[in-house]
Amino acid sequence: MLEVNGIHTYYGTSHILFGISFEVKEGEAVCLLGRNGAGKTTAFRSIIGLTPPKSGSIKFKGNEIIGKPPYRIARMGIGYVPDTRRIFPDLTVRQNILVARREKETAAWNLERIYSLFPKLKDLDTHMGNQLSGGEQQMLTVARTLMTNPELLLLDEPGEGLAPLVIQSMKEQLGEIKKLGVTMLICEHNVGLATALSDRGYVIDKGTIRYHGTIVELQKNEEVRKKYLMV
């Protein structure tokens, strides 16, 4: 579904990603693990088109997407949940969700399905965005992104800053979304939420992929975890 091949990404003259490659197959959940500053968010920004790579290739369902504007990439079927959450503080929960609604009435996701997946959001229906806790905001961001009916969901540190109990329920809900057939790429700086959900993982350090393997292999590989991850 996603093939990232040898991308080099810069912020101005700062060279951040040094020819990284990874892939996500349909139905898989894959994680990109690495310490803070390793280049995870930059990899996601490269995919969604916010910081397009200067060279390399990114194919989504076989089509090259480097050079396309972010809104076109999103419409092709990639949903991006940024680490900043960016919900609308002065809209209600319902409005925050409906703002992402597409024209297609036949779309798989609608308010009813979202509320059955996230009953907590249903309870908060009329609450304003700025009244929500961090965990509720994170749920709302995922819910809003699902309304765009993504085939591939990019989740940037979905558990960051959340209490352990909230992370647990986030993990369960993301697991449900995966079961519904949504392919996922999740990044995280520690071995936690993302690894629990993923089938395979890549380890990134200083803009270079240092390791990839199944989650079971990664969990057994103490050397890689000690060297490149916060464990």
Ligand X SMILES: Nc1ncnc2c1ncn2[C@@H]1O[C@H](COP(=O)(O)OP(=O)(O)O)[C@@H](O)[C@H]1O
Of 54 and 75, the one with the shorter C-beta distance to ligand X is 54
Establish if 9 lies at the interface with ligand X (CB under 6 A): no
Among positions 26, 27, 37, 175, the unique one binding ligand X when judged by CB under 6 A? 37
Instruction: Report in angstroms how near the CB of residue 117 gets to ligand X at its nearest.
Output: 27
Q: How far apart are CA 58 and CA 121, in angstroms?
A: 35
Residue 16 binds to ligand X (criterion: CB under 6 A):
yes
Characterise 37 by phi-psi region: left (phi > 0), alpha (psi -120 to 50), beta (else): left
Determine, following the binding rule CB under 6 A, whether residue 52 of this chain makes contact with ligand X: no
Residue nearest to Mg ion (CB): 41
Residues within window 11-40 making contact with Mg ion, judged by CB under 5 A: 40
166 binds, among ligand X, Mg ion, none (CB under 5 to 8 A by kind): none
Q: Which stretch binds ligand X (CB under 6 A): 34-42, 73-81, 162-170, 219-227?
A: 34-42
Shortest spacing between CB 66 and Mg ion, in angstroms: 20
Enumerate binding residues for Mg ion (CB under 5 A): 40-41
